[in-house]
Amino acid sequence: MSSVDKQLEELKAAVTRELPADISVSDVTYEGPELVIYTRDPKRFAKDGGLIRDLAGTLRKRITVRPDPTALSPPDRARDRILDVIPDDADVTDLEFHEDTGEVVIEARKPGVVIGRSGATLREITGAVGWTPEVVRTAPIESSTVSNVRDLLRQEREDRRQILERVGRQIHREQLSDEQWVRVTTLGGCREVGRSAFILSTSETRVLVDIGDKPGSDDIPYLDVPEALGAGANSIDAVVLTHAHLDHSALLPLLFKYGYDGPVYTTEPTRDLMGLLQLDALDKADSESEGRSLPYGPEMVREAIKHTIPLEYGDVTDIAPDVKLTLHNAGHALGSAITHFHVGDGLYNVAFTGDIHYGDTRLFDGAVNDFPRVETLVLESTYGGRNGYQTDREDAEDQLASFVSETYERGGTVLIPASAAGRAQEMMLVLEATMREGEIPRMPVYLDGTIWEATAIHTTYPEYLRDDLRSRLFDEDENPFLAGEFVSVDAGDETRREIADGDPCIVLSPSEMATGGPVRSWLRHLGPDPDSRLVFVGYQARGTLGRRIQNGLAEIPGGDAVGRSEPVALEMDVETVGGFSGHADRQGLENFVKTMNPRPEKVLCVHGEERAIQDLSSGLYHDHNLRTFSPKNLETFRFR
């Protein structure tokens, strides 16, 4: 008998001992980081909500209770009974039964009514039919991505259950080494923007944090070194993603092509957004002559999604015998997370910020910086340079409004390159507010590419948005994303030409750095028009077309998606409005670190151009008395 099997037998005995004698336990198993208890008496658990809480405290495990299949009412009968229990004003839109887990997913426009006071209605449902209810809110904008992900997980539920059981056994295995040490190896994202990838190593475990590409370049992280895939893809125990943007997630499917079969930890919206962005990148690579080919196909994207274990902010989760992971809001993008690792029994703590925004925006609350302990902080430095200060948010909105109004008056089009997930939704909120308040004329705002689908994903996860925005999403008259000015277009080059030749308007189009996607087509149509205006609202990395335009590029090079080879003169005005970036500026980065409680002992400055990283590292050392580093790629730091 393996040590894990012995451990499960002991846990089953302990569970049986702790529970009242009239509650049966048919099985106890691990699924990922959770201990799952199967019982033929789910109604007893439903009546006493404290049973699970007390068990979790006694066993010091995350516990899920599932009904044994023999305890479940048939789905047809259960459906009618559930609908009888739930008040009509909950507005239930769908019920979906998962017989393998004993869960019924209840989708409703008012989930709070389904839940009831202190969960009373949920307990009544389980008491009536045996099924364990899970409640999700009906999104105000339907997302095909979310539907496809849920369909995939439903179709692959047996494979997924096997994956989770295997991962659970790996997490809870006995430790193999008596040594204790912690190292971080930099595989990408050092003294550069993009291809973020780091290995957190202990004597027991290797965790890969992010695995992205580099905008405007074919460079990928150094995956073939011994610390990473040099010893085989499954020498990595887990992957943790900070967020879905491709410079942090694009190459995740490549791991599965190489044979990786382990877990991916991130938030639920990051899981869905990364699938959208990765598949969109594959489509662009196939359809555009300037698109970069990706070293995997859509089947590997689906494999990555199948292996993803979503976590919520604040949940402390075992991901290895000696590593606990906690995700915290990073304020950068939907579901973006600061990843906090607690190694050993109080041995050491490392936090990776990924990309952060410290102040509140119209879309998100600012990044969290209150942790129990952090000895080493791996800190993004995109705007870390001495002059890396952004315009005040209110001033930025005024500046944008001025550019839009001026362009409208002269009959031109405002083109705003924006990342489909994050910046585009922020700009939608700003434009909706300034039109509603009469600060700019009302005009069409065309949303190209995947922006509308990414917006739908945002509305699916309102709990990750600011409170005031969340309350507006579910009022059809107040939902800013449903404003009549927003028009989704993804119809091709001829439609873009007609829009460009038409009345004054605003266009939001991927990609943010003009490295590919529909923005290249818009530039060819609008570039020669001196009445139109290009407005950058995000960071333009070195080597990208966006940076070259900022630096005074006079013409757009040929070889774009519409098959033209000749360059096009760039006569439209070019402006940059700071203050809308999803990254903290220099002041925000310093404030994030100096107000951390407790403050870190060491700071590794990464994800920024070399001068920005060195400036931030020097400033944190001199002004805040911190031990700082500005690592190069392929360096290893031992902390214990």
Tens digit of pLDDT for each residue in 114-145?
999 988 999 999 889 989 898 988 888 999 99
Amino acid at 270: T
**Which of the four pLDDT bands, split at 50, 70 and 90, describes residue 474?**
confident
Average pLDDT over residues 55-60: 88
Question: Distance between CA 136 and CA 145 in Å, rounded?
Answer: 16
Question: Which helix (H) or strand (E) is 598 found in, with range?
Answer: none
Same domain as 310, residue 195: yes
**pLDDT per residue as tens digits for the range 377-388:** 999 999 999 999
Task: Examine the fold and report which residue of 560, 576, 592 is the final residue of a domain before the chain moves on.
Answer: 576
Q: How confident is the model at residue 561 (pLDDT cuts 50, 70, 90)?
A: very low
- Do 414 and 547 share a domain, yes or no? yes
Helix residue ranges, H only, 474-538: 493-500, 518-526
Q: Which of 602, 174, 592, 631 is nearest to 348 (CA)?
A: 602
pLDDT digits over 401-413, tens only? 999 999 999 999 9
Q: What was the pLDDT predicted at 289? A: 47
Evaluate whether residue 149 is within a structural domain.
Answer: no
What burial class does residue 365 get, using C-beta atoms within 10 Å of its C-beta: 0-12 exposed, 13-18 middle, 19+ buried?
middle
Say if residue 423's pLDDT is above 90. yes
Which residue range is the domain that position 520 belongs to? 393-576
- Can you tell me whether residue 286 is helix, strand or coil? helix
Residue 4: CB atoms within 10 A of its CB come to: 17
pLDDT average, residue stretch 36-42: 89
Per-residue tokens: 4:
């894990």
Mean pLDDT of the chain: 92
pLDDT band of residue 216 (cuts 50, 70, 90) is confident
CATH code at 58? 3.30.300.230
Lowest average pLDDT, out of 96-105, 429-438, 588-597, goes to 96-105
Q: Are 234 and 259 in contact (CB under 8 A)?
A: yes
Q: Do residues 380 and 240 both lie within one domain?
A: yes
Of the candidates 303, 251, 258, which has an alpha carbon nearest to the alpha carbon of residue 277? Answer: 251
Phi, psi of 455 (to 5 degrees): -65, -40
Can you tell me whether residue 536 is helix, strand or coil? strand
Query: 552, 576, 600: which is the final residue of a domain?
Result: 576
Q: How many CB atoms lie within 10 A of CB 65?
A: 22
**176 SS3 class:** coil
Residue 275 has pLDDT above 90, yes or no: yes
Using DSSP, how many helices (H) and how many strands (E) does the chain show? 21, 28
Clarify whether residues 255 and 320 are in a common domain: yes
Does residue 636 lie within any of the structural domains?
no
| Residue at 374 is within a domain | yes
Listed residue (483, 432, 424, 484) closest to 280, CA to CA: 424
Position 286 confidence tier, pLDDT thresholds 50, 70, 90: low
Tell me, what's the pLDDT at 562?
Answer: 43
In this model, does residue 101 exceed pLDDT 60? yes
Give me the residues paired with residue 96 across strands.
105
**Higher-pLDDT residue of 291, 430:** 430
Residue 640 lies in a domain: no
Q: How confident is the model at residue 563 (pLDDT cuts 50, 70, 90)?
A: very low
- Do 608 and 569 lie in one domain? The reply is no
Are 504 and 454 members of one domain?
yes
Among residues 534, 554, 576, the one where a domain terminates is 576
- pLDDT band at residue 246, thresholds of 50, 70 and 90? very high
Looking at the structure, tell me whether residues 12 and 130 fall in a common domain.
no
The enclosing domain of 438 has a CATH number of: 3.40.50.10890
**Tens digit of each residue's pLDDT (9 = 90 or more) over 309-347:** 999 999 999 999 999 999 999 999 999 999 999 999 999
Identify whether residues 118 and 85 lie together within a single domain: yes
pLDDT of residue 45: 79
Residue 276 has pLDDT above 50, yes or no: yes
% of the chain exceeding 70 in pLDDT: 98
* 547 and 596 belong to one structural domain: no
Give the model's pLDDT for residue 116: 92
Q: How many CA atoms lie within 13 A of 47 on its CB side?
A: 9
One-letter amino acid at 357 equals: H
Residues 264 and 229 in one domain: yes
Do 88 and 206 sit in the same domain of this protein?
Answer: no
Q: What is the CATH number of the domain that holds 312?
A: 3.60.15.10
Instruction: Supply the pLDDT for residue 137.
Output: 83
Distance of alpha carbon 86 from alpha carbon 66, whole angstroms = 21
d(CA 534, CA 527): 8
3-state per-residue secondary structure call for 89-141: HHCEEEEEEECCCCEEEEEECCHHHHHCHHHHHHHHHHHHHCCEEEEEECCCC
Phi–psi pair at 56, nearest 5 degrees: -60, -40
Contacts of 318 (CB under 8 A, 6+ apart): 33, 171, 172, 324
Q: How many residues does the chain have?
A: 640
Query: HSE-up of 500 (CA within 13 Å, CB side)?
Result: 23
Nearest by Cα to 583 from 333, 391, 371, 338: 333
Is 146 part of a structural domain of the chain? no
Q: pLDDT tens, 166-189? A: 999 999 999 888 899 999 999 999
Asked if 450 contacts 420 with a C-beta cutoff of 8 angstroms, the reply is yes
In a domain, 453, yes or no: yes
Cα separation, 168 vs 164, whole angstroms: 6
- Contact call for residues 388 and 585 (beta carbons, < 8 A): yes
Determine the Cα–Cα distance for residues 505 and 35; give it in Å rounded to an integer: 55
Among 246, 462, 460, residue whose Cα is nearest residue 355: 246
Model pTM score: 0.94
Task: Kindly state whether residues 64 and 162 are assigned to the same domain.
Answer: no
Q: How many domains does the chain have?
A: 4
Q: Per the structure block, which two tokens stand in for 568?
A: 């096009």
Nearest CA-CA partner of 371 in 356, 343, 351: 351
Residue-level pLDDT at 564: 53
The answer to whether residue 148 is domain-embedded is no
Tokens of 605: 């400055």
In a domain, 123, yes or no: yes
Average pLDDT of span 86-108: 90
pLDDT in tens, 352-400: 999 999 999 999 999 999 999 999 999 999 999 999 999 899 999 999 9
